[in-house]
């Protein structure tokens, strides 16, 4: 049984959201990695392959690869298949750009946070994550306290 932990994060795009974590310590490219029509992770070499990011808190070290990733994230936001929040361990320009475009075009965006690696690694798939506007992230372990 785990216990609730709280981490201070750096907010790139802030907001109050709540969702179930989808976490892996492997970078993910949105282009060729996520199907924006469904939210499914389609990179078959990624440990989260087959999972769906829609409505989840996606926790990865960073986004990998192509500049077209921001376009894919924007398309996901438009289609309602984007994560509610994306947590990485350093500022990812492509992810941030997709989220900013979502805000500017559709008035909605995933919250984008940067979290220290040792904190990020404590989040597991299935944990419930509550993010405050101040960037405070409260993690309730899967299965409750």
Enumerate binding residues for other proteins (CB under 8 A). 12, 32, 36-37, 65-72, 74-75, 77-79, 91, 93-94, 96-97, 100-101, 104-105
Catalytic position from the list 29, 49, 51, 66: 66
What contacts 105, CB < 8 A, 6 or more positions away? 74, 78
| Nearer of residues 14 and 124 to other proteins, judged by Cβ | 14
Residue 18's nearest CA partner among 125, 145, 132 is 132
* Rounded CA separation 133/145 (Å): 24
Report the residue number, 3 or 45, with the smaller CB distance to other proteins: 45
Identify whether 66 is a catalytic site residue: yes
Residue partners of 87: CB distance under 8 A and separation at least 6: 9, 57, 58, 59, 60, 113, 114, 115, 120, 123, 137
CB of 89 to other proteins, least distance (A): 15
Shorter beta-carbon distance to other proteins: residue 2 or 71: 71
Residue 140 C-beta: closest distance to other proteins, Å: 30
Catalytically annotated residues: 66
């Amino acid at each position: 049984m785990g216990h609730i932990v709280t981490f201070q994060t750096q907010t790139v795009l802030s907001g109050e959201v709540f969702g179930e974590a989808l976490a892996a310590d492997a970078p993910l490219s949105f282009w060729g990695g996520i199907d924006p029509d469904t939210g499914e992770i389609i990179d078959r070499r990624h440990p989260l392959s087959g999972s769906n990011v829609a409505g989840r808190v996606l926790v990865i070290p960073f986004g990998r690869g192509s500049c077209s990733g921001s376009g894919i994230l924007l398309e996901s936001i438009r289609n309602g298949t984007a994560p509610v929040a994306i947590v990485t361990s350093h500022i990812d320009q492509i992810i941030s750009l997709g989220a900013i475009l979502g805000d500017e075009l559709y008035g909605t965006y995933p919250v984008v946070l940067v979290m220290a690696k040792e904190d990020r690694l404590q989040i597991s798939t299935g944990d419930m994550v509550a993010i405050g506007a101040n960037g405070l992230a409260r993690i309730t372990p899967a299965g409750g306290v």
